[in-house]
Structure 1
Amino acid sequence: MLDSIAAFFKRIGRAIARGLGLLVVWLLWPFLAAHGWYRQRNLLIKLPIAVFLALIGTLYIYFIWQTQAWSGFDANYPDVYKFSDRKVGAGQELPAVNGQQAVANAPKSCQTSAIVDVTADLTDFNVNQNAWISSMLLYKLGFFGINWDDTPFLDNKAAFQRGVNQAVRRTSVELVDTLGRVRGTSGINSDLQSARGNLQFDETSWYFGMRPFGPKTPTPSYYRAAIGSLRKFNTDLGTCNAVFDSRADNLLQFIDRVANDLGSTSDILAERSENHNYGWFDMRADDRFWFAYGQLYGYYGILSAVGADFQQVIAERNLGTLWTGTMKQLQAALRIQPAIISNGREDGWIMPSHLATMGFYILRVRSNLVEMRTVLGGR
């Protein structure tokens, strides 16, 4: 009896080994066939092919390095700005230094916008401190024609960057439409308008494209131009030659837009979690997770900056405790950094549900924003 059981498992083992062997042969035969063909060619053919393969190998080494090296990443990056040291809101005239009276006819100085600073720095983080992955040639080509987002590797950083960019794009729209102008009385600021246009540009543009066919300006060039426009606006604001309207109704609208943006991401996570809960075998779970993580990463800095720019409104409406609680919830969400993303069942006990966990934190943040919106709209 025991001998028959042992023989059965041996047959199973041999079948598995044979299957794995066939799989390896199937994967390697194109390379072996190409190698055989290459050996039979003369030097005039071999040399260009060798140069081309060396170039491709170098590009892949660079590409893999850029997808794995996250330069400048810091989940507590808003602490660097020391927003608590700001005594007046954005656009307000700064008091004279050391309490001294200003010299007659001396130029005025105004408080720059923390929101604009963070928005520019987040974009700099995406395209200058790091390579913008989504428009890199090898990312666009995919893995043997398969979109990298449909694979379990080399797409996390790209998804994270797009999440950060989503927060930046949303903020740039609000800067143009409401924050960077006095509603109903002033025109749109040209620097902010330029920044918004550049930040809305296609995230996947390379130096050459098929639709339309021909050379193109790559995505990072547009985003770098947006950084310059944002910093130009803040320079003008610092010399009181631009406006920043830090009224309560503008804060309400900004919070409402952010809450809606997070609500959309929460719906995406919920749909993926409910309908594709394949645990570690869900190939899209990682990019969904890291997009949401990047969005929260961006909004953590931006909302911290909002607290500085609208500090007077927050104090007048007694939102301090609620605001601090929201920042703590964002901090807690950013502490979730699993090495491998799993999209398991919420009641599963082997494979965790990281998407459901991230969705929970997003809803907590959104709930606080909705409560703040209610307080601002009720007075």
Structure 2
Amino acid sequence: MLDRIAGFFRLIGRTIARFARIFFAWAFWPFIAARGWYVQRTWMVRLPILGFLGLLAVLYCYFIWQTQVWSGFNPSFVNEYRLSERKVPAGQELPTTDGSATKTCQRSAIVDVAADLTDFNVNQNAWISSMLLYRLGFFGIDWDHTPFLDNKASFQRGVNQAVRRTSVELVDTLGRVRGTSGINNDLQRARGNLQFDEYSWYFGLDPFGPKTPTPSYYRSALESLRKFNADLAACNAIFDGRADNLIQFVDRIANDLGSTSDVLADRSQNHHRGWFDTRADDRFWFAYGQLYAYYAILAAAQSDFSQVVAERNLGAIFSATTRQFQAALQIQPAIISNGREDGWIMPSHLATMGFYILRVRSNLVEIRSVLDR
């Protein structure tokens, strides 16, 4: 009996080894064939090829480094703003303490956060989605369809999605008095630049020719956001902190998170292949990036609309929403698994993230309901 069991496991081992040899033979035969061709060439041919391979190796080392090192990543970075110390809503005149006649107004925490998130994406880190090697993919396969080197890119796009949505609301409602003032030019430029394609490199095929890369547009948006806040601090711009504007802002964020929750649910229910679902990681980290950004943006909104929050007694609901964000951002698995929700071997990280998104969204709906009374 023991001999049969041992024989069974030896058979499994031999089968695995056989398939491993076949796989490596299939994967490496082009390189072996290329080596055979290379050693038969003269040095006039070898040297350019060697230089190209050396350049490619340097580029890949840089690319791998940029995808694996997340500079400035801190799920608790909201604490650095000390929002609880702000006693005046955004756009309102600050009391003078030194007898100065110069009038100053409160900056917008929402704009500060949106600018800092953009700075985090394109200055503190390289914007992965428009890098040449990311565009080329893994032997022609889109990196998003592989289980590696795409997590940071998906996270950055999730952050950018939240900043884009915020920029739209800043232009349409928050940065102007509707019906009595025009659109702020700085916010308008920021919105336009943030909507730019996330995948543009210095050269493209559609249309064919040189292009301005994505990070340049986002850096221009960053400058426009900073300029708006400088004007706001000098009382030369408008931040309309009315309750109906907060209602619309919260509503748009809830809808955005609801859409992401639907994407997670679809992937979780229809592609539950556990650790072998190569798209689960980019879905997870896109959602994580959204929550990372919206956590800070909503905390900033509580400060910018502090008068409305106090009048409607929304402090407790905002605090509950903050706790939901913090709980969601603690989920940072090394490997993303999209297992069945009733499975017992492979976890379902997408279902877990979707659950936290729905809890956050539920609190946002409650905030909107209170404001709408």
Taking structure 1 as the reference length, what is the TM-score of the superposition? 0.96
Matching residue within 187, 199, 206 for 1:204: 199
- Residue 110 and residue 23 in structure 1: after superposition, are their counterparts in 2 closer, same or farther (change >3 A)? same
Q: Which amino acid aligns with 2:200?
A: S
Tell me by how many angstroms 1:21 deviates: 1.5
- How many aligned positions are there? 373
Provide the residue aligned with 2:372 in structure 1: 377
Q: Deviations over 1:205-245 (max 9, x none)?
A: 00000000000000000000000000000010011000000
Q: Secondary structure at the match of 1:97?
A: coil
- Give 1:22 deviation, angstroms: 2.1
Partner residue in 2 for 1:296: 291
Indicate yes or no: 2:349 matched with 1:354.
Answer: yes
Q: CA deviation at 1:20?
A: 1.9
Please give the per-residue CA displacement for 1:11-67, whole angstroms capped at 9, x wherever unaligned.
554343233222212211111111111111111100100000001000000000000
Q: How does 1:314-353 map to 2 (within 5 A)?
A: 314-353=309-348
Match of 2:67? 67
Q: Which runs of 5+ in 1 are unaligned?
A: none
How far apart in 1 are the matches of 2:135 and 2:91? 42
CA separation of 1:352 and 1:7: change in aligned 2, threshold 3 A:
closer
Match of 2:136 among 132, 141, 149: 141
Question: Per the alignment, do residues 21 and 241 of structure 1 end up closer, same or farther by CA in structure 2, a change over 3 Å counting?
Answer: same
Amino acid at match of 1:131: A
CA 1:96 to 1:28, structure 2 compared with 1: closer, same or farther past 3 Å?
same
The answer to whether the aligner puts 1:222 opposite 2:217 as a matched pair is yes
For the pair 1:89 / 2:84, whether they are aligned, the reply is no
Alpha-carbon separation, structure 2, partners of 1:162 and 1:66: 15
Q: Which amino acid aligns with 2:315?
A: G
Give the secondary structure class of the aligned counterpart of 2:308: helix
Per-residue deviation, 1:6: 5.2
CA RMSD of aligned residues (A): 1.3
Counterparts in 2 of 1:93 and 1:36: CA distance versus 1, 3 Å: same
For 1:157 and 1:317, how far apart are their aligned partners in 2?
A: 39
Q: Distance in 2 between matches of 1:246 and 1:95?
A: 18
Which residue number corresponds to residue 165 of structure 2?
170
State the alpha-carbon separation in 1 of the partners of residues 5 and 300 from structure 2.
Answer: 68
Paired with 1:182 and 1:253, the residues of 2 have a C-alpha distance of: 14
2: distance between equivalents of 1:4 and 1:176? Answer: 74
Residues 224-239 of structure 1: matches in 2 within 5 Å?
224-239=219-234
Structure 2 unaligned segments of length 5 or more: list them. none
Q: How does 1:43-58 map to 2 (within 5 A)?
A: 43-58=43-58
Q: Distance in 2 between matches of 1:332 and 1:3?
A: 51
Moved more, 72-81 or 2-11: 2-11
The superposition leaves residues 267-319 of structure 1 with CA deviations (integer Å, 9 ceiling, x where unpaired) of 00011111111111111100000000000000011011001100000000010
CA distance in 2 between partners of 1:92 and 1:4 (Å): 82
Correspondences of 1:19-168 after superposition (within 5 Å): 19-97=19-97, 100=99, 102=100, 106-168=101-163
Instruction: Give the 4+ runs in structure 1 shifted more than 6 A.
Output: none
How far apart, CA to CA, are the structure 2 residues paired with 1:85 and 1:236?
A: 22
- Residue 97 of structure 1, CA deviation: 1.1
* Equivalent position amino acid for 2:355 in 1: F
Q: Go from structure 1 to structure 2 and tell me whether the alpha carbon gap of 1:240 and 1:17 turns closer, same or farther (over 3 Å shift).
A: same
* 1:194 Cα deviation from its structure 2 partner: 0.1
